[in-house]
Structure 1
Amino acid sequence: MDVDTLTGLLDGTRARGAFLLRTVVEPPFALRIQDEAPLTLVTVIRGTAQVIRESAVELKPGDVAVIRGPEPYTVADAPGTPWQTIIHPGQVCTTVDGVPREQLGVRSWGDRVDGGTEMLTGTYQLRSEVSRRLLGVLPAMVVQPAAATDRTLVGLLVTEMAGTAPGQELVLDRLLDLLLVSVLRAWLASPSAGSRQHAPHDPVVGPALRLLHTAPEEQWTVAALAAKAGVSRSALARRFTDLVGEPPMAYLTGWRLALAADLLREPDATIGAVARRVGYGSAFALSAAFKRERGQSPQEYRRETAAGQEKHFTTYDPSVVLLGQA
């Protein structure tokens, strides 16, 4: 896997049947979003909207917000507007009294087609442990102003969301990914991203990170990494900890276990094979590390993950989901 931060962040974060919605509302409006989604993208087409968590951030036409979950938040015309609509897990949309809300048309919901505020929302459901680990570097919300947004992508999303042609879902997924990439790429290049995001480009830490990411199965030590980077052991340990936020071997352990967790989702992968691919000498060694760090054995994790996936796919019914791909 490429150590580039954006590539890593999106490697398992590609949309696969992402929920996409065009919302048209007339102020005053307030939508309480408590769907527990890990990642949501919102852009305003016309009018304005406030995204409210601990404070309110105004979105104007063309602005794009990337919101990290699963904590709830509100989208409203103003901070004081009472909630009228609740978005629940599974993207079920109801009034505050629990009455299902009706759609306006294909992938559209709202008060009326000519409402004063129009927004597009794309919701990712991430199941990759690697994605979740890397997603943790994001702040609660990243906002890209209209002047920096690729309006062509937004325009294509608007057009495609109204269609029902074969392959429509795949096209929408890729357009949503491109819009997300454009926002995160700009954020990663900005000073607000912090020193951790610049670690891959550091002349000392960058080479060490590339080695850990591309060859986690190797029996790395700080001394071996330092030799590859051309610096002393103490210099690498100090700079790595300063930029990444944890020592090299602690980072390697977390990375290996995240990879192992993803590999354990593959039904035919044995624990012994997974252990060898991520740098543990035996199934026992991986099991001990996995349980120490995560509080459950690989077998327990695999059973729990399989049960969760079965529940997700057996309870999802497009005919009753009002916020998403109808």
Structure 2
Amino acid sequence: MDILSEALESMRTGRPISIRTDGRAPWGLRLPPVAGAGFHVVLYGSCWLVPAEGAQPIPLSTGDVVFLRDSCGYTLADLPDTPCVVPGPERYTIAPPIGAMRLGEDGPLTSLLCGNYHLDQARPHPLVRQLPEVIHLTTRQGRNPELSAAVHLLGIELENPRIGSEGIVPTLIDSLLLYILRAWLESRPSGEAEGWAAALTDPAVAPALSAIHEDPSAQWSVESLAVRSGLSRAAFARRFNLLVGEPPMAYLTRWRMTTAARLLRESDAPLGTVATRAGYSSEFAFAKAFKREYGQAPGGYRRAATAG
């Protein structure tokens, strides 16, 4: 079971939004707040990512990729002290496969792909909560080859759109999030990994997580999950709580409700079927548990999701 893909897909509330941004020095772009995570790919040139609240600016150059967990309070500019603006609609053009924006004057060119992933921030998966605020990766000198390949393909399609580009580019951008997070997770030395970065490969916790994700409707217990882990009940519970950030049964309930919410949003399955898929034999018990987690009954949640 690919837990990383499952966790991210459970939070998705729409397709990524992105725009090709060309800045000629001097230029500065203030990033608007979004309900999700932001990303920036430097296709050509160099610039600076300036965090909020006095943190150190981060230099970026061709092939660099930045992931912003909360995508708030950051600016991009040719130099850290260049004044930044929120560009108006006169700066945008809409053309397949994505939009374009031009900033600045007549100095050296920097070309970026900027965008965001719409993620449900009301109930974020703990994996996403444990990510650092900024993930900065480079694809230079043979590092992160899969990410490098995705960035290279994006650059080709954006530089010279052809037949099929309208379908290829959104798919590459969608896949970019997984490439970013996989590269970050795999870049951490095993001795330094902690939390979910360690849980996904931990010989005791990973099998239990896979079991929960593969069959959330099964009547799992701490004892049965501990058998999967090869540890005693107490040792397994302690290790699971340490890495995942909550007890095994709490995570099981969370994933069952996440599974149910996704079914309610994306299918017309009867509530009884959704309850069964979420591990509840009683539709009433399921509705009570769902309302406790989401603040509204399953039927109301489905209607609101459909209307939105």
The bucket for the TM-score relative to the shorter chain is 0.7 to 0.9
SS class of match (1:100): helix
Is 1:222 aligned with 2:222? yes
Match of 1:159 in 2: 156
Q: Decide whether the 8 Å contact of 2:50 with 2:76 is kept in 1.
A: yes
Higher relative contact order (CA 8 A, sep 6+): 1
On the 8 A contact 2:64/2:136 being kept in 1, the answer is: yes
- Quickly say closer, same or farther: Cα 1:53–1:194, change in 2 above 3 A: farther
Q: Pairwise mapping of residues 3-42 of structure 1 onto structure 2 (< 5 A)? A: 3-5=2-4, 7-11=5-9, 18-42=16-40
- TM-aligned CA deviation for residue 70 of structure 1: 5.0
**What amino acid is aligned across from residue 198 of structure 1 in structure 2?**
A
Per-residue deviation, residues 48-106 of structure 1 (Å, max 9, x unmatched): 222423423221222110122353422223343332224xxxxxxx1xxxx63243976
Q: Distance in 2 between matches of 1:29 and 1:58?
A: 15
Structure 1 regions of 5+ residues with no counterpart? 87-93, 309-326
Q: How does 1:48-59 map to 2 (within 5 A)?
A: 48-54=47-53, 55=55, 56-59=57-60
Change (3 A) 1:132 1:114: farther
The answer to whether the 8 A contact 1:40-1:122 is kept is yes
Query: Residues of 2 paired with 1:13 and 1:274: CA distance?
Result: 18
1:16 CA displacement: 7.3
Contact kept, 8 Å, 1:11 with 1:131, in 2: the verdict is no
SS at match of 2:228: helix
> 2:112 aligned with 1:109, yes or no?
no
**Distance apart, 1:141 and its partner CA:** 1.6
Counterpart residue number, 1:257: 257
Hey, what does 1:145 align to over in structure 2?
138
Instruction: Measure, in 1, the Cα distance between the counterparts of 2:257 and 2:289.
Output: 8
Write the letter of the residue equivalent to 2:248: P
In structure 1, distance between residues paired with 2:64 and 2:135: 11
Distance 1:170 1:274, change over 3 A: same
Once superposed, what is the RMSD of the aligned Cα atoms? 3.0
Corresponding pairs, count = 295
Q: 1:255 Cα shift?
A: 0.7
- Going from structure 1 to structure 2, the CA distance change for 1:15 and 1:226 (only over 3 Å counts) comes to closer
In structure 2, C-alpha distance between the alignment counterparts of 1:126 and 1:27, rounded to whole Å: 33
Q: CA deviation at 1:167?
A: 2.9
Check conservation: 1:264, 1:274, Cα contact below 8 A: yes
Contact (CA 8 Å) 1:204, 1:236: kept in 2 or not? yes
Asked if 1:124 is matched to 2:117, the reply is: yes
TM-score normalised by L of structure 2: 0.83
* Structure 1 residues 232 and 267, CA gap change in structure 2 (3 angstroms): closer
1:15-94 equivalences under 5 Å are 18-44=16-42, 45-54=44-53, 55=55, 56-69=57-70, 71-86=72-87, 94=88
Q: Judging changes above 3 Å, is the alpha-carbon distance between structure 1 residues 256 and 212 closer, same or farther for their aligned structure 2 residues?
A: same
CA–CA distance in structure 2, aligned partners of residues 78 and 257 of structure 1: 46
Is the Cα–Cα contact under 8 Å of residues 39 and 124 in structure 1 kept in the other structure? Answer: yes
Q: Are residues 1:173 and 2:170 paired? A: yes
Counterpart Cα distance in 2 of 1:114 and 1:22: 18
The CA distance in 2 between the partners of 1:275 and 1:196, in whole Å, is: 28
Q: Supply the AA of the counterpart residue of 2:6.
A: G
Q: Distance in 2 between matches of 1:128 and 1:263?
A: 18
1:182 aligns with 2:151: no
